[in-house]
Structure 1
Amino acid sequence: MRLSQLNTTYLHAKRYREIINVIVKYGFGFLVEKVGLVRLIKREKYRELGRLTAPERVRLMLEELGPTFIKFGQILASRPDLIPQDYIEELKKLHDRIPGVGFESIKRQVEKELGKAIEEVYSFFDPHPFAAASIAQVHRAMLKGGQEVVVKIQRPGIERIIRADLDILHNLAKLAEKHIPESRLYDPVGLVSEFARAMQKELDFTKEAWNVEKFRRNFEGDISVYVPKVFWEYTTRKVLTIEYVKGVRVDQIDKISKTGISKKKIAENGARAILKQIFVHGFFHADPHPGNILVRPDGSIAFIDFGMVGRIDRSTMRKMAEIMLGVISKDEERIVNLLLEIGASEKRGNLEELMLEVQDILDRYYGKTLKEINMPELINEIFLTAGRHGIKIPSKFALLCKAILTIDGIGRQLYPEFDFIKVAKPFVRQLFRERYNPKYFTKDIRKNITNIMRSSAILPDLIDEIYNKVKRESIKIDFEYNGLEKFAFELNRMANRMVFSLIVASLIVGSSLVVRAGIGPTVGGMPLMGILGFVLAGLLGLGLLISILKTGIM
């Protein structure tokens, strides 16, 4: 075994012991016992912590465990579909501000990354950071050409620490799934894997730089939003040099009031910018808290810190828009059907009870105007309710909710009469216009025909494989009563559509042969049977297409 591997193994073992004992220190020793790691506990640390609540102990524990766990807590704070609200409120207090690294270490890091002396690149470099977090710290500087910039520098050695912590977190998640059956509902391994991917991206500053470039292209020509410029020649995996943006934090109401800029305009511009990112670009700032949004002197909105972004496809956009329409029309059946479509298959509760709970949520807004409905909060509550009934909402919807909730809260803080639905309406309308646009019809037809052909090609092999597995008794089918009806319905719909598609294709092929052969009576020089075949195929195909577009799925 190499020396480096020995060192890594030793550090992992040491870190395991540190993590386990911090977990025990904050009163969660029973979890350590359940996963079989009692041998790592120092008994003198096994104690209670006075009157602290469980959420408070979780927050303090994560803070003591360091940067990786703080980040993990911050991610969990954006997942109301996974953890209770009292834990979310406490995890929101997690702060990632720690004393900065000494200037000499930062200087060496910058020079190593850029391959030049710091004086060759910057005419001024503030030795004192104006922001310091666990992964990086930010310094004001000026390039030789006179351009004011901010330089984000990764803390020396932090990548090695985070990678070790991620390995340990992954192993702890596997142990939890194995020894604590109730934890499987939350998919600890999947959650840690998702978190690890996000952290890997955050450790590579070129990824953040590309995010900035994409936002800059997306908002080109939009004077209400400003995106800073990246200086690529002074940007690497561990150093990011970006244009300094002058402005006031969006939550500094007194300072904004002194500028004379309309707070209503700022609120609407901010909401419009986020909605445009979600419903037009499909690429959105996933952490739009007040510290990451500035109001520039000209009244435009500037977003900063692009380390956390979300991506969604047009199908997800449409489903989010349909949920909004379901809320507006108070259609609980439509909302529950959408939840079933977007939710992962977990052990579900009673669907009738879910529908009644959604109806109760909507009834609270009975008689209220659209302006009085807090749409983001209402959708978030619906997602939470779905989670309680075993419908696991994908993380991208949780990120969407977080972004919308945050910008709605900022809007109401700036302007109490802020009307989110009024700002969102044009984006929702445009999505549905596109859906029924002939250009998109044609695109969907091509896509669906390709999918049908691909499915038809692999179907014989798939059936043969399933048959062989059943024959060997190596396949286990576990149906749950509440989900069986839904499964059968979806299977029946899929089979019907495939048969329908084959009939349409057969009619087209048969009619083409009849026309080519010139058989039977003619109308206008064309065989009547061929014309009738084409018309029937067209009507059946149109019916199939409308069915597909109405549900949004194959």
Structure 2
Amino acid sequence: MRQAGRTRRMLGLSVRTGTTLLRSRVGGNADWQALGESLFDGLSELKGPAMKLAQVMSQWDDLLPPELAEELARLQRNATPAPWEDIRTTLEQELGELQALFRHVEPAPFASASMGQVHLATTLEGQQVVLKVQYPGLEQVLEQDLAQVRRILRLGRWFKVSQSRLDALFDELAESLRQELDYVAEGNMLRRYRERYDAWGNIRIPAPVDSLCTSRVLAMEYVPGTPLREIEQVDDERRQHVASTLADWLTEELFVHGEVHADPHAGNFAVDDQGRLILYDLGAVIAVPPERLRGMLALLSATLERDPVAMDEALRGLGGRQGEGAPLALYQESAEAIAPLFAPGLQDFGDVRVHRRLRELSPRVWSALDRLQPPPGMLMLARTLNGHYWNLVRLEARLDMQNRTAQVFQTYAGQGVGLPS
């Protein structure tokens, strides 16, 4: 699609989204399913930054209307694939004649994502590999697409989110998308993570195939597994083992290495036949500075203490909550909603009562955005942690979160972070 056509299509989707949001805000009849279907059809064809933004939004399924969240979630698993001939052209431009390298490349995609498409292949030596191929022309249209995404994000002004906050959210999203176009960096990240977790017997990370990697093609060994979104097929004992591994890994990432895998949708994770957690995609990894971790722990400590005044102070310390009038009652109800997950002993992440209470709070969160004002630099981290949380929900994890958090607080006890009593 030509850039002019892309721009018109994205503007049309932006207008339709804005109209639906306005109807919802003034108490009218908002057809969220129709909006979701329209966004799925349009963004599935367009790919790129706008589709990535919708995938980000779909992981906030505790905030979005269920009908809209369900339609946007389809972009993670059923996006319209790019034509094989376009993908083949990119492969030949990057690698040369395919017959000289492969016995076979499967024309039907193994997966279709926002920035690239994955195809299975077999090398002449008989090795099965996956080829992650960047969509043709994406680098050339990225900046123009991002300009349209900035316009879409400005709809947040209807919720009285300041322009500076919206700009900060856009800058963070744009940097993440530019990072995802760098397949050389992703290959290096795969190597670094493989070395980091080499001693962990319960995590698998595919190895890059260096001879087949370029700036627009990332080749990796084929590591089959059951996708996390289909994990209900696995028995409970193995599912709990995977949930514990995921929780251990996230804790290690954040509090030992100060970074986190920032694309947590369920399609990027799987479980092999030995119950090991497979990490498929490392195109987006974000750093979490120590001062931000301390601020997050201060907010968590205040939340576990159910102290709304301390929660407000912690949010301000992170750079949020710029408006007048602290929503203390909202803080209190939020703390009470998540408290069951941090009670003593094993707690069930599949407990729908927790999710129901959080969903019931979401309209009040939206209405308080003019006072809450999301902290700058926290968009991707908040989205990431939310996505990993929902992966634990899908696993129906049973975790002792009180003990886990106590160990983390103990580590940070000498750095100005108070332990909850």
What interval of TM-score do these two structures reach, taking the shorter chain for normalisation? 0.7 to 0.9
TM-score (norm 1): 0.61
Q: How far is 1:379 from its partner?
A: 9.8
- Residue number in structure 1 paired with 2:257: 281
The residue type paired with residue 107 of structure 2 is: P
For residues 393 and 26 of structure 1, the distance between their equivalents in structure 2, rounded to whole angstroms, comes to 21
Contact 1:79 1:395 (C-alpha < 8 Å) held by counterparts: no
Find the partner of 1:244 among 200, 222, 226: 222
Q: How far is 1:303 from its partner?
A: 1.0
Q: How far is 1:17 from its partner?
A: 4.1
- Residue number in structure 2 paired with 1:45: none
Gaps of at least 5 residues in structure 1 are 1-7, 32-49, 437-548
Counterparts in 2 of 1:291-310, with a 5 A limit?
A: 291-310=267-286
The higher radius of gyration belongs to 1
> Structure 1 residue 227 and structure 2 residue 205: aligned?
yes
- Residue number in structure 2 paired with 1:326: 302
- Residue number in structure 2 paired with 1:359: 332
Q: How far is 1:59 from its partner?
A: 5.8
> Could you list the per-position Cα deviations for residues 249-283 of structure 1 after superposition, in whole angstroms to 9, with x for gaps in the alignment?
234345422xx963322211111112211222122
Q: How far is 1:386 from its partner?
A: 10
Cα gap change, 1:364 to 1:95, in 2 (>3 Å): closer
The residue type paired with residue 328 of structure 2 is: M
- Residue number in structure 1 paired with 2:88: 107
Counterparts in 2 of 1:441-460, with a 5 A limit?
A: none
Secondary structure of 1:60 counterpart:
helix
- Residue number in structure 1 paired with 2:244: 268
- Residue number in structure 1 paired with 2:195: 217
For residues 84 and 399 of structure 2, the distance between their equivalents in structure 1, rounded to whole angstroms, comes to 45
> Structure 1 residue 28 and structure 2 residue 23: aligned?
no
For residues 14 and 250 of structure 1, the distance between their equivalents in structure 2, rounded to whole angstroms, comes to 36
> Could you list the per-position Cα deviations for residues 27-55 of structure 1 after superposition, in whole angstroms to 9, with x for gaps in the alignment?
83999xxxxxxxxxxxxxxxxxx976257
Contact 1:357 1:385 (C-alpha < 8 Å) held by counterparts: no
> Structure 1 residue 150 and structure 2 residue 123: aligned?
no
> Structure 1 residue 136 and structure 2 residue 77: aligned?
no
Contact 2:190 2:206 (C-alpha < 8 Å) held by counterparts: yes
> Structure 1 residue 349 and structure 2 residue 324: aligned?
yes
Q: How far is 1:329 from its partner?
A: 2.9
> Structure 1 residue 369 and structure 2 residue 343: aligned?
yes
Q: How far is 1:373 from its partner?
A: 8.9
Cα gap change, 1:85 to 1:337, in 2 (>3 Å): farther
For residues 140 and 120 of structure 2, the distance between their equivalents in structure 1, rounded to whole angstroms, comes to 27
Counterparts in 2 of 1:107-186, with a 5 A limit?
A: 107-114=88-95, 116-170=96-150, 182=160, 184-185=162-163
For residues 37 and 224 of structure 2, the distance between their equivalents in structure 1, rounded to whole angstroms, comes to 34
Contact 1:268 1:411 (C-alpha < 8 Å) held by counterparts: no
For residues 167 and 328 of structure 1, the distance between their equivalents in structure 2, rounded to whole angstroms, comes to 40
Q: How far is 1:93 from its partner?
A: 2.8
The residue type paired with residue 124 of structure 1 is: H
Of structures 1 and 2, the one scoring higher in RCO (CA 8 A, sep 6+) is 2
> Could you list the per-position Cα deviations for residues 336-367 of structure 1 after superposition, in whole angstroms to 9, with x for gaps in the alignment?
21111002473x1213xx23432343356789
Find the partner of 2:172 among 180, 194, 209: 194
> Could you list the per-position Cα deviations for residues 366-419 of structure 1 after superposition, in whole angstroms to 9, with x for gaps in the alignment?
899345597997999799489635233336545444444444444344346443
Identical-pair percentage: 21
Q: How far is 1:229 from its partner?
A: 1.0
Q: How many residues align?
A: 401
- Residue number in structure 2 paired with 1:390: 371
Q: How far is 1:15 from its partner?
A: 4.6
For residues 162 and 265 of structure 1, the distance between their equivalents in structure 2, rounded to whole angstroms, comes to 40
Cα gap change, 1:149 to 1:326, in 2 (>3 Å): same
Cα gap change, 1:92 to 1:281, in 2 (>3 Å): farther
Contact 2:269 2:278 (C-alpha < 8 Å) held by counterparts: yes
Q: How far is 1:152 from its partner?
A: 0.7
Cα gap change, 1:327 to 1:63, in 2 (>3 Å): same
> Could you list the per-position Cα deviations for residues 483-503 of structure 1 after superposition, in whole angstroms to 9, with x for gaps in the alignment?
xxxxxxxxxxxxxxxxxxxxx
For residues 132 and 365 of structure 1, the distance between their equivalents in structure 2, rounded to whole angstroms, comes to 35
- Residue number in structure 2 paired with 1:441: none
Contact 1:74 1:91 (C-alpha < 8 Å) held by counterparts: no
Secondary structure of 2:219 counterpart:
strand
Contact 1:296 1:302 (C-alpha < 8 Å) held by counterparts: yes
Contact 2:264 2:387 (C-alpha < 8 Å) held by counterparts: yes
Does 271-280 or 67-76 show the bigger shift? 67-76
For residues 405 and 26 of structure 1, the distance between their equivalents in structure 2, rounded to whole angstroms, comes to 23
The residue type paired with residue 331 of structure 2 is: V
Cα gap change, 1:423 to 1:59, in 2 (>3 Å): farther
For residues 268 and 303 of structure 1, the distance between their equivalents in structure 2, rounded to whole angstroms, comes to 15
Q: How far is 1:123 from its partner?
A: 3.7
Question: Which structure: greater helix fraction?
Answer: 1
Counterparts in 2 of 1:332-343, with a 5 A limit?
A: 332-343=308-319
The residue type paired with residue 179 of structure 2 is: K
Secondary structure of 2:131 counterpart:
strand
For residues 134 and 12 of structure 1, the distance between their equivalents in structure 2, rounded to whole angstroms, comes to 17
The residue type paired with residue 239 of structure 1 is: V
For residues 106 and 396 of structure 1, the distance between their equivalents in structure 2, rounded to whole angstroms, comes to 35
For residues 391 and 153 of structure 1, the distance between their equivalents in structure 2, rounded to whole angstroms, comes to 40
> Structure 1 residue 430 and structure 2 residue 405: aligned?
no
Q: How far is 1:121 from its partner?
A: 2.6
The residue type paired with residue 159 of structure 1 is: E
Cα gap change, 1:400 to 1:80, in 2 (>3 Å): farther
For residues 399 and 332 of structure 1, the distance between their equivalents in structure 2, rounded to whole angstroms, comes to 25
Gaps of at least 5 residues in structure 2 are 23-27
Contact 1:272 1:423 (C-alpha < 8 Å) held by counterparts: no
For residues 220 and 315 of structure 1, the distance between their equivalents in structure 2, rounded to whole angstroms, comes to 29
CA RMSD, Structure 1 to Structure 2 (Å): 4.1
Contact 1:78 1:399 (C-alpha < 8 Å) held by counterparts: no
Counterparts in 2 of 1:75-94, with a 5 A limit?
A: 75-78=56-59, 89=69, 92-94=72-74
Q: How far is 1:134 from its partner?
A: 4.6
